[in-house]
Amino acid sequence: MIPGPTRGSVSSAMVARTEPDERELLDAARGGDEEAFRRVLQPYRTQLHAHCYRMLGSLHDAEDVMQEVLLRAWRGLPGFDGRSSLRTWLFRVATNACLDAIARRPRRVLPIDYGPAVTGPDESATPAEHVAWIEPYPDEAMQVEEGYASPEARYEQREAVELAFVAALQFLPPRQRAVLILRDVLGFSAKEVADALGTTRASVNSALQRARKTVEDRAPERSQQAVARAIGDEAIRDVVERFTDAFERGDTGAIVAMLADDATFSMPPYAAWSRGREAVADSWLMPSGPGAGLRYLATRANGQPAVGAYRLTPDGARYVPIALDVLTLRGTTIAAITAFRSPELFPWFGLPEELAA
């Protein structure tokens, strides 16, 4: 039996350890020592989990595949001969588990990638349950670190879980997706990636060129990490506080004033989405002004500011979660609001499952 779920058991990635310690733990784990197996994998769990999320675009799928990764690693560890580093071997296991999962699942998207923008609210619409939607990711709870995974990486670790970046990744064919993440996010060499995927370095380099072009065409020029550094934490807190205050007061004018001219609003699992201040003002976000009895709690998701939205129950006894709003900023204006109607995910983001009235 292998060590249990990843939730709540993730530690800082890549903590320093001496080579003899790791060898001793590996020897013990190969002999069936579950505690040694848990300890030898512990420094890599954070990056492995984030890797699965980038590949799959779903927190639920990442959790499922991580269990498969642990099982494969446990079963395959006796055959690990040390010709590559343990980190390289583990990501080989994780990448192939993700590729197997992708073969069984449809590609995940955001509403803005699913169809054209609409004008005005469509209150008769129902959730598009046949569509596989991208899910938000609790990067802070999962302890995704800032900065680069290695000197060879092109993308920061938190930049590479931002919504726009993850959405761009989903447009790549699975093996191109794996190549770009392994090379440009995790900083593996072309040879290491070729070995992991059972192909040649020339094939890896060719796939990487095609993947880079797709991602560069779809991802924004400036990441949310760059925006955060430019405006600072205090300015971000101010944006979030003004956003939540305006909604709780039902001040539609104040909300609209915070939006960029070309701001977008989408609400998975609904396919309809809006672009532009006027369209957003007439969208599901606030078709006739925000309703009374709303509460908001600040959090973070996908390396971006976010808020959990709660609505007062009809009996006035408590507030229940309705959506996790992930904000994309352009300076101190809001360029996009993605409201995930996934209240079951609230605990992952440190948000209570209900609030007292």
Domains of the chain: 19-105+136-218 (1.20.140.160), 232-356 (3.10.450.50)
125 and 261 Cβ atoms separated by less than 8 Å: no
Can you give the pTM of this predicted structure? 0.91
What is each CA distance from 282 to 104, 119, 248, in whole angstroms? 38, 8, 18
How far is it, in rounded angstroms, from Cα 283 to Cα 335? 15
Token readout for 336 is 């996009």
- Whether cis (ω within 30° of 0) applies to the bond prior to 269 is yes
Residues 6+ apart with CB under 8 A from 235: 332
Q: Are 341 and 127 in contact (CB under 8 A)?
A: yes
Four-CA torsion 289, 294, 295, 297, nearest 10 degrees: -50
- pLDDT tens per residue across span 119-162: 765 555 788 989 999 999 999 999 999 999 999 999 999 999 99
Angle at 317 (CA atoms; ends 315, 319), nearest 5 degrees: 105
In angstroms, the CA 105 to CA 305 distance is 29
Three-state secondary structure call for residue 38: helix
Question: Can you give the pLDDT of all 357 residues of the chain as single tens digits?
Answer: 444 444 433 333 343 444 448 888 888 888 888 999 999 999 999 999 999 999 999 999 999 999 999 999 999 998 898 889 999 999 999 999 999 999 999 999 999 999 999 876 555 578 898 999 999 999 999 999 999 999 999 999 999 999 999 999 999 999 999 999 999 999 999 999 999 999 999 999 999 999 999 999 999 999 999 999 999 999 999 999 999 999 998 888 999 999 999 999 999 999 999 999 999 988 877 755 555 689 999 999 999 999 999 999 999 999 999 999 999 999 999 999 999 999 999 999 999 999 998
The per-residue pLDDT for range 14-60, each reduced to its tens digit, is: 434 444 488 888 888 888 889 999 999 999 999 999 999 999 999 99
